C-alpha cells in the first residue's frame, strides 16, 4: 500500500507513535510518505520505502500568521496526487484530520481514503474549546476510519462530541527489542550514585502531568530510602518544577535532563517510573518503561488503567494521592520478591499485549478494508 502520514514531528507521544508506525509499515514493504513540518524526531537512520515531504509555509505582510494548515492541506493533496497514495493517515485531530478532509475535497471523490487517530489531548483538552470542537467534529466525522489509543478515549470522544462514528481502539505499542531491560545499565552509572534507587518521570511538563506530585512523591521516598529523581523533558511547568525542587532543598538529588530523543536506555536505567497525570489517554511512556522491566506507579486517569495493571505491572492511585504513590514505591523498594514479580510482569505485558507487530497489523487491516471498499 502507499500510505501518507501526517503528525506533529517534533514533540509528544502522538508524533512518536506515528513515526514508529511509519517505520514499521515501511519495513513491512509499504511505501510510506511523511507529510510534516520537520523531520520526525524518532525517525533514526535511513530506511527503504520511507519518504519525507516537508510543508513550506507562506509569509506575506497581509497575513497575520503564516497559514500553515492550508499549506499542509495543499501539500497533502499534492503528495497524494503525485505518489498515488491509497491512504492518508492523520495523527491528532487538529489540524491533521481537518487538513486531510480538505485535501480529500481538493482532490475530488475517491482519490484517497482518510484515517484519523485520536491521541488524547486533541479530544480531552482542545475539544473543550467550542470553536475548535466544531472544526474537530468535522475532521473526525468526515474521516473514512477513526481510531483512538484507548477505550477510555473512545468513551470520552463519544460523550464530548455525541458522535455515532465508529471508533476502533488500537493501543500504543512498543518494540521490545529496543525498549528492553539492560543488565549492564551503563546509563544508570552516569545518572545515579551506587546504592541510590532511581525514580523517573518523562513528559512534556504540562499542568495535566502533575509534575509537582512527582517531586512530592520523591521527597517522601527519599526520607526513607537513598534515591534519585530523574526528570526528562521540557514544557511550560519546567520552571515551576525547578523552583519546587529548590524550595524543598532537593537539588542534589534531582537531575533535570531536558528533552531527550534517545530514551530507551534512560527508561532502562530506572527502578520505578512515576506517572501521576490528571489526564492521560494511554501513557506511552508508561508502556516504554514497562517494556524495560520498570514498574509504573501512577494515577487512575483516562487510559492508564488499560496499560498498568495494579499489583501485576505497577500500582495506581486516585489523582493527587501522593501518600499512596510514595508508599507504593517504598513497598517496591523494600520487598525484593514483589519488585521482581512486577518487573517481570511489566516486561511480559508490554511484549504480549502491546507488541508493535500486532498493533501495526491492526492498522494495516483498516487500510486494506478501506481500499477494498473504495
Shortest Cβ 14–ligand GMT spacing (Å):
3
- Binding residue for ligand GMT (CB under 6 A) from 144, 213, 280, 306? 280
Shortest Cβ 119–ligand GMT spacing (Å):
4
Stretch that binds ligand GMT, among 156-164, 274-282, 322-330, 351-359 (CB under 6 A): 274-282
Residue 288 exposed, middle or buried by CB count within 10 Å (0-12, 13-18, 19+): buried
CB nearer to ligand GMT: pick between 74 and 264: 264
Shortest Cβ 145–ligand GMT spacing (Å):
17
Shortest Cβ 21–ligand GMT spacing (Å):
10
Stretch that binds ligand GMT, among 7-15, 62-70, 73-81, 155-163 (CB under 6 A): 7-15
Is there binding between residue 92 and ligand GMT (CB under 6 A)?
Answer: yes
Is there binding between residue 121 and ligand GMT (CB under 6 A)?
Answer: yes
CB nearer to ligand GMT: pick between 143 and 281: 281
Distance CA 11, CA 260 (A): 11
Answer whether 140's CB lies under 8 Å from 157's CB: yes
Positions in 146-175 near ligand GMT (CB under 6 A): 149, 172
CB nearer to ligand GMT: pick between 112 and 325: 325
Find the radius of gyration of the CA atoms of the chain: 21
Distance CA 299, CA 308 (A): 10
Distance CA 360, CA 354 (A): 10
CB nearer to ligand GMT: pick between 6 and 172: 172
Closest to 9 measured CA to CA, from 46, 34, 44:
34
The DSSP bridge partners found for residue 227 are 197
Closest to 31 measured CA to CA, from 4, 71, 58, 64:
4
Answer whether 29's CB lies under 8 Å from 1's CB: no
Shortest Cβ 20–ligand GMT spacing (Å):
10
Stretch that binds ligand GMT, among 56-64, 118-126, 133-141, 182-190 (CB under 6 A): 118-126
Positions in 282-301 near ligand GMT (CB under 6 A): 282-284
Question: How is residue 11 written as a grid cell?
Answer: 514533540
Closest to 4 measured CA to CA, from 82, 70, 90:
90
Asked whether the CA dihedral 102, 107, 110, 116 is positive or negative, the reply is negative
SS3 at position 199 = strand
CB nearer to ligand GMT: pick between 122 and 144: 122
Grid cell 522491566 in the structure block, residue: 293
Question: How is residue 226 written as a grid cell?
Answer: 537513598
- Binding residue for ligand GMT (CB under 6 A) from 49, 71, 204, 353? 204
Is there binding between residue 33 and ligand GMT (CB under 6 A)?
Answer: no
Report the interface residues with ligand GMT, using CB under 6 A. Answer: 12-15, 17, 92, 119-121, 124, 149, 172, 204, 206, 208, 279-284
Amino acid at each position: 500500500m502507499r500510505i501518507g502520514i501526517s503528525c506533529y514531528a517534533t514533540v509528544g507521544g502522538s508524533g512518536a507513535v506515528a513515526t514508529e508506525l511509519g517505520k514499521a509499515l515501511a519495513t513491512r514493504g509499504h511505501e510510506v510518505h511523511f507529510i510534516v513540518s520537520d523531520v520526525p524526531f524518532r525517525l533514526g537512520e535511513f530506511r527503504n520505502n520511507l519518504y519525507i515531504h516537508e510543508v513550506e509555509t507562506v509569509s506575506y505582510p497581509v497575513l497575520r500568521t503564516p497559514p500553515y494548515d492550508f499549506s499542509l492541506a495543499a501539500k497533502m493533496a499534492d503528495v497524494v496526487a503525485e505518489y498515488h497514495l491509497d491512504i492518508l493517515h492523520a495523527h491528532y485531530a487538529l489540524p491533521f484530520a481537518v487538513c486531510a478532509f480538505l485535501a480529500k475535497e481538493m482532490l475530488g471523490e475517491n482519490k484517497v481514503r482518510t484515517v484519523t487517530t485520536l491521541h488524547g489531548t486533541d479530544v480531552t483538552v482542545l475539544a473543550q474549546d467550542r470553536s475548535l470542537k466544531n472544526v474537530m467534529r468535522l475532521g473526525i466525522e468526515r474521516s473514512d476510519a477513526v481510531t483512538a489509543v484507548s477505550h477510555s478515549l473512545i468513551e470520552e470522544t463519544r460523550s464530548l462530541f455525541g458522535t455515532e462514528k465508529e471508533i476502533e481502539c488500537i493501543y500504543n505499542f512498543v518494540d521490545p527489542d529496543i525498549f528492553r531491560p539492560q543488565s549492564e545499565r551503563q546509563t544508570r552509572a552516569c545518572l545515579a550514585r551506587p546504592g541510590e534507587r532511581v525514580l523517573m518521570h518523562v513528559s512534556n511538563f504540562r499542568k495535566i502531568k502533575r509534575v509537582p506530585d512527582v517531586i512530592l512523591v520523591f521527597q517522601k521516598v527519599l526520607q526513607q530510602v537513598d534515591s534519585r529523581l530523574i526528570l526528562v523533558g521540557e514544557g511550560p511547568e519546567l520552571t515551576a518544577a525547578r523552583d519546587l525542587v529548590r524550595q524543598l532543598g532537593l537539588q542534589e538529588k534531582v537531575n533535570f535532563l531536558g528533552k531527550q530523543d534517545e530514551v530507551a536506555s534512560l527508561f532502562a536505567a530506572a527502578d520505578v517510573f512515576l506517572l501521576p497525570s490528571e489526564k492521560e489517554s494511554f501513557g506511552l511512556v508508561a508502556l516504554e518503561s514497562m517494556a524495560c522491566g520498570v514498574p509504573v506507579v501512577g494515577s487512575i486517569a483516562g487510559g492508564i488503567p488499560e496499560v498498568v495493571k495494579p499489583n501485576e505491572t505497577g500500582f495506581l492511585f486516585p489523582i493527587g494521592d501522593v501518600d499512596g504513590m510514595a508508599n507504593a514505591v517504598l513497598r517496591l523498594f523494600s520487598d525484593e520478591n514483589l519488585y521482581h514479580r512486577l518487573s517481570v510482569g511489566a516486561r511480559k505485558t508490554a511484549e504480549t499485549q502491546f507488541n508493535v507487530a500486532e498493533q501495526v497489523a491492526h492498522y494495516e487491516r483498516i487500510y486494506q478494508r478501506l481500499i477494498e471498499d473504495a
